[in-house]
Amino acid sequence: MKTDIYQKVTDKIIADLEQGELTWLKPWSAGNMDGRIVKPLRHNGMAYSGINVLMLWGAAIEAGFCSPYWMTFKQAKEMGAHVRKGERGNQVVYANTITKTEEQDDGSEAERTIPFMKAYTVFNVDQIDGLPEHFYAKPEPVIEEAQRIEHADAFFAATRADVRHGGNRAYYSGGSDHVQMPPFECFLSPEAYYATLAHELTHWTKHPKRLDREFGRKKWGDEGYAREELVAELGAAFLCADLSLTPEPGTDHAAYIQSWLKVLKNDKRAIFSAAAHAQKAADFLHGFQATSETKQGVAA
């Protein structure tokens, strides 16, 4: 690619962190979608994942877009619509691999898998005229009356993780393979409780018998620790979006920002890797939902 997309995205997130802002929380603080939190969506309604979520969330807040829908110039044209003159698109990326057959020194042939990434441009629906009416419909705000949020409780319960309540600290213990949470009523809001639980359950997915994620952490606060915390941060952000929860920055974010900055400045691919691991963790936790629903169906 002519443009170094790794560097471009990393520079944007570094700039946000240096201002004390978390790119992945911006949509919530800006009142995105009139209170309804969703991931960016393709023209067909399928959600973007991984690093593209961060890129499009950031672009939407910067430009003040309210719609979650994004599409290419060609996709808009195929629907009889058109991108308004003078509008500038935003880049998203597509990652895949190609297999190449190479001749070895002994004359034999071997296949080599080569990863690649390409960028393409999409426009927000707010930049496009003439689309079908449902693209412009305003979503209903999500307003929860009860203190406990039933669908969030059900989601996390389906994982069957060992979650214990007590004390005033939230953490995942690898040795005992359990998540420790303060009591629900100790949190400032229900959303804060579920966002914290999502963060810790993202850590829970790193266990060797689950996703076996390891960044070479030797001690608290080192680079491996910072990378894992970044994965947990993004994992929680993705899960909160999936569950229509509206979290707020935690009190410990300021302490982590400097370590995250160090990691990102040293490795322009770090945020892409973290987003990929976070998406994998979120998908893993979503996988328990289908299992839970199947068991309920059998029981019925």
Same domain, 161 and 299: yes
Q: pTM to 2 decimals?
A: 0.72
For 190-232, what is each residue's pLDDT tens digit?
Answer: 888 899 999 999 999 999 999 999 998 766 668 888 999 999 9
Same domain, 296 and 187: yes
Mean pLDDT computed over every residue of the chain: 83
Of the candidates 68, 60, 66, the residue with the CA atom closest to the CA atom of residue 89: 60
Residue 33: its pLDDT value, please?
42
Same domain, 167 and 296: yes
Please give the residue range of the domain that contains residue 201. 145-300
Per-residue burial over 19-58, b if 16 or more Cβ lie within 10 Å, else e, is eebbbbbbbbeeebbeebbbbbbbbeeeebbbbbbbbbbb
pLDDT(295) > 70: no
% of the chain exceeding 90 in pLDDT:
41
Give strand ranges (E) for 15-153.
Answer: 70-71, 82-83, 90-103, 109-124, 128-129
pLDDT(272) > 50: yes
Which of 143, 170, 199 is the endpoint of a domain?
Answer: 143
DSSP, collapsed to helix, strand or coil, labels residue 136 as helix
pLDDT(28) > 80: no
For 105-160, what is each residue's pLDDT tens digit?
Answer: 787 888 888 877 888 999 999 999 999 998 987 655 443 444 788 999 999 999 99
64 secondary structure, DSSP code:
T
Same domain, 11 and 89: yes
Distances (CA, A) of 72 to 69, 93, 151, 183, 217: 11, 13, 34, 46, 41
Same domain, 82 and 116: yes
Q: How many domains does the chain have?
A: 2
Q: At what angle do helices 223-242 and 270-299 cross, to 10 degrees?
A: 50
For 223-268, what is each residue's pLDDT tens digit?
Answer: 888 999 999 989 998 998 899 887 766 656 666 778 888 899 999 9
